[in-house]
Amino acid sequence: MKTNFQKNIKRLCPLVIMLIATPALLFAETVGVFSDNSISQIKFAANDVKSALESKGFKVEMNDLSKLKSSYSNKKIVIALESDKKIIMLFTEAGGKVPNGLGEQAYALQTITQKQNSYWVFGGDVNGAMYGGLQLAENITFDGLSGSYNEQVSPDFKQRGVKLNLPMDRRIPTYSGYMGNTSTQYAVKNVWDMKFWEAWFDQQARNRYNVLSVWVHHPFPALVKVPGYEKACLPSIEGFFGYADPTLTLEKRIAFWRQVMTYAHNRGFSFYFFCWNVCAEYAEDMYPGVITEKENNPTTLDYLSKSMKALLETYPELDGFGISAGDNMKLPKDSRGPWTWKAYGKAAYDYALLNPDRKFTMIHRGLGAGILKLYEDWGPLTKLPNMKFEYSVKYANAHMYSTLTPKWYEADLSDAAKAGQKTWLTLRNDDYFYMDMGDPEFVRGYLKNIPYRQVINSFNIGSDIYHPTRTYWCKDTTMNGQLEIQRNWYIQMLWGRIAYNKNISDDVFKKYMAQRFPQVSSETLFNAWALASRQLPKVQELTQGSWGLDAHWYAEASMYPQNGGAFRFLDDFTVTEVARTSSSNLCSVASSAAGTCGTKKSTYQLADEMEADAQSALALINGISSQGDANLEVKINNIKQQAYLTTHFAYKIRAATYKKANQTEKAREAMGKAYCWWMKYANSMDAMYKGNKFRTVTIAPDWHYADAFQLKDYTDLGGVGIPDCK
C-alpha cells in the first residue's frame, strides 16, 4: 500500500516535468499592450509589437485602450493619438512630457521608467500612430525592452509612393501594348490575388510608403460598365500560362478592387489608377471603327468621358486618377490639355459638383503638356474645394540611379514652383531588376537634392520595362513565388525609410542585416553592399546625357532595344555625353581623351575610383560564408555580381577613353580585362537566373548572350583569340 508521501510525489512528478520543459511559459514576464483595435492602422502596428515581444520571450496581454489605468502593474506599451485627452492625462501622471504639436504622419515615442517601465507612442494622426508603433516593434526586435526612447519624428516627404505598371488582363496591357514581356504575363494572375496585395501593403507600410499608383493603358474595361458602351466591359479575366478566371465578373471585380483600396487605406496608403492616351484597348475591338485611338474621334472622347464618370461612381474608395498625355498622342503639345479635359476632366468636374463631400485628386503628367497651359484648360476643376488638381513630372527620365541632380524637366518644375502647383515626381528605376542596390549614401544624396520642395507632393518609384509582382526567374525554384519587394527588400527599405525619416541611422540597416543573417558580420556585409552598389550610378551618370531613356540603355545587361535588343559596344561609349547636370562633376570620354577636363573628374579617374571600390567590396564579401543560408547566398552573389559588372565597366570606360585618344594598345589591354570581368559576371548571373524578356530588351537564350559581343570589342582593337583571364 502506497503512503501519502508516495502518492503526493506521483502527483507532483508531471508538474515538475512541465516546469522543467516549459520555463518560458511559466516564468515569462508579462507586458500589456494597450491600443484601439477599432483603428486598422493602429491594430496592425500593435500586432507587430506583439510579435516582436513574443520573439523576445515575453508574454503579451492585448488590451483595449479604454481599459488603461494607472494601477496596471506590469510593464506596458501604449499606442494612442495625441488628441486622446484621457491617455495624455494618464501619461503626464506617470511622468511623461506631452509631445509638442505632432502633425500629419508624425509620432512621438517616450519611455517612462518610474515603477514599471512603460513605452508610449503618440501619433499626430492614425498613420503617425501606426508608424510610431512599427518603430517600437522594430526597436523591440533589435533590443528587447532594454531601450529607453525619447524621440519625435515627422515625415520628410509627406507622400512616398510606388508606381506599379500592371496589366489587368491580356486584352488591356500596360505601357505601349507590350504583352510579350515575361513579367507582364506573370503579373496578370497576381493582380487578382488578394493575398498578394495584403502582403504587399503590409510590407510597404513597414517600409513607410504611403502612396500606390497602378498604371494601365486603359483600365476601364476591367473596372466599369459604361452606359452606351456596355460591350467594352470584359466578361471575365484572361491571363497567360493557362490562367483564366471566368468567375471574375464585373460585380466580383468591383468588389475585389474596393477591397484592395480599403486594405490600402488600412495601411495608411492612398490609391490611384493612371492611364495613358490615346488608348482604347478592348473597347476598340468591341466597337471596331467606332471607338478608335484617334484624338479627333468624338465617339472616343464620349466613351472616355463616360468611363471617367462611371469610375467615380463605382469606386468611392478611389483617391484619385492620373493621366498621361505624352505617349500615344499626335496632337501638338498645346492641344493635349483641351483634349484630356474633354476626355476626363469635365466628367470629374461635373461629378464633383454633384458630390461635394467626395474628395478626389486628378493628376496630370507634364509629359507632353506644360502646367501653365493646363491651368487654362483645366481651370474650372482647379477651383473646386473638394477636387485637387496636381501635376506630375518625369524627374530623371528612365534612370534615377545616375546623377544626384537630374535636370531633365527643370523648366516644368520651375513653372510648377512659380504657380505654387503641387507636383508628383516619377522616379524611374529601369536600372536594377536582378540586383538589390544597397547604398544609403546615394539615396540620402538624391532625396536631399530634390529641388522645389515647397511644391513636391509625392515621389513615385517604379519601372516601365519590368512589372514586378512575384519572382519567377530564379534557377533555384525555392526562390520563386516570393514577392519581388521581399526579394529586393533592401532597396525598398532604403527609399521608404530615408524619405520618411531623413535622420535614420545606418545602424538601423545594419541591425536588419544582423537579424536576417546573424552568422556574418553585419558591418562587413553593409560596407561591401554599399561599395558594390555605388558604382553603377556612376556609369549611368557618365552616359545619361545620351542614354537617358529605357530605349537607350539597360545597364544590368548592357543592352538597348534595337531589333529585339542590341549590345552597347565600345564605340558607343566613346561618344556619350554626361548627365545634364553631373553631381560628381564628371568629364566625358571625349574630353578626357583630349585632356580638356580642367577641374572635372576625368574618365581615367572615374575608372580608378570605380575599380578600387568594387575590389574593396569583393575583398570584404569574399571573407563571408553563407553557411548554407540560401537567402544570404543570393545576397553575397548579388554583391559580387555588382562588383564584377562595374569593374567590367571601369575597364571598358578606360578602353573607350584610350581608343578615343588613339592609344590602341592600351585600349586593347583594358578591353581584354573588361572581357574577363564580364565573363565573371555572366557566369555568376547564368548560374542563378533564367533568361528574360523585358518590354524593350531580351536576355536570351541565357546570360551568355553578349560574350561574343564583348570579344568583338577586343578583337576589333587587334586582340587575338580570347584574352587570358587568369
Of all residues in the chain, the percent with pLDDT exceeding 90 is 89
Give the pLDDT confidence of 598-651 residue by residue, as tens digits: 999 999 999 999 999 999 999 999 999 999 999 999 999 999 999 999 999 999
pTM of the model: 0.95
Helices marked H in 378-521: 379-382, 410-419, 440-448, 484-487, 489-500, 506-516
Asked which of 343-352, 503-512, 536-545, 552-561 is least confident by mean pLDDT, the reply is 552-561
Q: Average pLDDT of 245-259?
A: 98
Query: Domain end: 153, 184, 216, which one?
Result: 153
Cα four-point dihedral sign 334, 335, 338, 341: negative
Q: Residue 667 and residue 656: Cα distance in Å, rounded?
A: 7
Q: How many domains does the chain have?
A: 3
Q: Which domain holds residue 308?
A: 160-506
Residue 178: pLDDT above 80?
no
Cα 295 from Cα 281, distance rounded (Å): 15
- What's at 262, amino acid-wise? T
Does some domain include residue 524? Answer: no
* Whether residue 196 sits in one domain with residue 63: no
Predicted confidence (pLDDT) at residue 516 exceeds the cutoff of 60: yes
175 and 149 both lie in a single domain: no
Tell me if 720 is assigned to some domain: no
User: pLDDT band at residue 19, thresholds of 50, 70 and 90?
Assistant: very low
Whether the per-residue pLDDT at 424 is higher than 70: the answer is yes
Instruction: Report pLDDT for 463.
Output: 94
**Strand, helix or coil at 195?**
helix
At 652, phi and psi to the nearest 5? -70, -35
Taking all residues of the chain, what is their mean pLDDT, rounded to a whole number?
94
On whether the CB atoms of residues 296 and 337 are closer than 8 A, the answer is: no
Strand partners, 277: none
- Tell me whether the omega of the peptide bond preceding residue 214 falls within 30 degrees of 0, making it cis: no
- Look at the alpha carbons of 513, 517, 523, 528 in this order and tell me if their dihedral is positive or negative: negative
Site of grid cell 556585409: 525
Shared domain for 642 and 581, answered yes or no, is yes
Would you state the pLDDT for residue 176? 61
Per-residue model confidence (pLDDT) at position 370: 86
The CATH number for 41's domain is: 3.30.379.10
Q: Is 566 found in the same domain as 440? A: no
Is residue 95 included in any domain, yes or no? Answer: yes
pLDDT at residue 27, rounded to an integer: 66
Q: Is the pLDDT of residue 14 over 60?
A: no
Omega cis (within 30) before 14: no
Regarding beta strands 244-245 and 237-238, do their DSSP bridges make them parallel or antiparallel, or are they unpaired? antiparallel
Joined together, the cell numbers standing for residue 487 give 526579394
Instruction: Say whether pLDDT at 398 is over 80.
Output: yes
Q: Is 548 contained in some domain?
A: yes
Q: Are residues 442 and 541 in the same domain?
A: no
10 pLDDT above the threshold of 70? no
